[in-house]
Structure 1
Amino acid sequence: MEPIIAQARVRDAEAILKLQYLCYQTEAALYEDYTIAPLTQCLTDLLSEYDTHTILVARLGEEIVGSVRGQLREDVCHIGRLIVHPRLQGRGLGTKLLDAMEERFGSATRYELFTGSRSERNLYLYRKLGYVSLREETVSPQLRLVFLEKQGVSNPSKNSFL
């Protein structure tokens, strides 16, 4: 059975949050910091994101096995919290979720996301999908974030006929 990507329902919030906690354990271990935002987010905060973000899920039957969030601000789609259940990682589901979010915000001039500088698998995936480094930001002695961007289809500089 192939996972199906769809808009998250409000009733999915608890399952998304549980999957988020599971998926970010490896990131927390990598940075020796279990207080990272994805692990401290509460259900109320996630529910409030339904008002400001597009939240997509990947379902395998009734089980939520992946998710991603996006928000359009000033023609830039900010993508975050891409998660895939550990048992399904490396099978292209993260790519499908990112593609679905980019498609959802097809009018964006660019897409932006970030990950930790030690998160080699994430960096590999994003670069493979056309994202390039934009800037870095030090959060703590253990954590440096790498922001990456990808030009959108509607970006005038990409559609130049000269």
Structure 2
Amino acid sequence: MGMSVTISAATEDDAEHILKLQFLCYQTEAELYGDYGIEPLTQTLSDLRRELAEGHALVARLGGEVVASVRGRVDDTGTARIAKLIVHPRMQRHGLGGRLLDAIEERFAGDARAERFRLFTGHRSESNLRLYRSRGYVPVSTEQAGPRLTLVTLEKESAPSAYAASA
């Protein structure tokens, strides 16, 4: 590839690009579970903009094209909830998902409230489960989300802050 992929904070101008990419990326999940009514395929642009404003989002760009994204927020329990890690199908299997996951974790690690990272995926989404396990996530619960879908929630503790005071 002649260009390198760069990762940066998403802006409001990226919202429409993220939504289109999300729609493309979740087609395989919908097919896998036989459910095209899943939230990532029905989310509106205004809902996405609100989500971006309330949390953190990163995009990966190849030139000017958004080819991957991830987002999340820290809740009141100290949990950094990471969501919708998406990579354009032609860019998959090149480590971009792992780079984005590392980058959003790094972003949340700078937030003193973030004590742990949590994410979820479907029980049949083997490549997602493999990626998350390779990054130290462990399953903590499952939830039946529909007749064909069980969500697997995975979690890992946030690393102690590098700038924490020492004795």
TM-score (norm 1): 0.93
Runs (5+) with no aligned partner, structure 1: 156-162
Which whole-Å deviations, capped at 9, do the CAs of 1:99-139 have from their partners, x for residues lacking one? 01000010421100000001011001100111000100001
1:93 counterpart letter in structure 2? L
Alpha-carbon offset, residue 63 of structure 1: 0.0
Indicate whether 1:70 and 2:76 are aligned: no
Q: Say if 2:52 and 2:71, in contact at 8 Å, map to a contact too.
A: no
Q: Paired residue for 1:127?
A: 133
Query: In structure 2, what is the equivalent of residue 160 of structure 1?
Result: none
Structure 2 Cα separation of the partners of residues 50 and 36 of structure 1: 19
Letter in 2 for 1:49: E
Q: Give the equivalent residue in structure 1 for 2:21.
A: 19
Shift of 1:50: 2.1
Counterpart of 1:91 in structure 2 is 94
| Residue deviations 1:26-54 (CA, integer Å, cap 9, x gap) | 00000000000000001010011122110
One of 152, 156, 163 as aligned partner of 1:150: 156
**Residues of 1 paired with 2:72 and 2:50: CA distance?**
14
Question: In the alignment, which residue of structure 2 is the partner of 1:159?
Answer: none
Match of 1:111 in 2: 117
1:47 aligns to 2:49 (yes or no):
yes
Decide whether the 8 Å contact of 2:141 with 2:153 is kept in 1: yes
* CA deviation after TM superposition for structure 1 residue 19, in Å: 0.3
- What amino acid is aligned across from residue 123 of structure 1 in structure 2? L
5+ residue gaps, structure 2: 162-167
What secondary structure sits across from 1:50 in the alignment? Answer: helix
Higher mean C-alpha deviation, range 90-99 or range 104-113: 104-113
- Contact kept? 2:123, 2:150, Cα under 8 Å: yes
Distance 1:50 1:94 in 2: 19
Identity over aligned residues, as a percent? Answer: 56
Tell me the distance in 1 between the aligned counterparts of 2:153 and 2:160. 21
- RMSD across aligned positions (CA): 1.0
Query: Which consecutive aligned stretches of 4+ in structure 1 deviate over 4 angstroms post-superposition?
Result: none
Aligned residue pairs total: 155
**Partners of 2:151 and 2:26 in 1: CA distance:** 15
**In the TM superposition, what is the alpha-carbon distance from 1:58 to its structure 2 partner?**
0.3
- Preserved CA contact (<8 Å) 2:6 2:60: yes
Instruction: Report the 3-state secondary structure (helix = DSSP H, G, I; strand = E; otherwise coil) of the residue aligned with 2:16.
Output: helix
Which deviations, in whole Å up to 9, do the C-alpha atoms of 1:76-106 show, x marking residues without a partner? Answer: 1000000000001010000010001000010
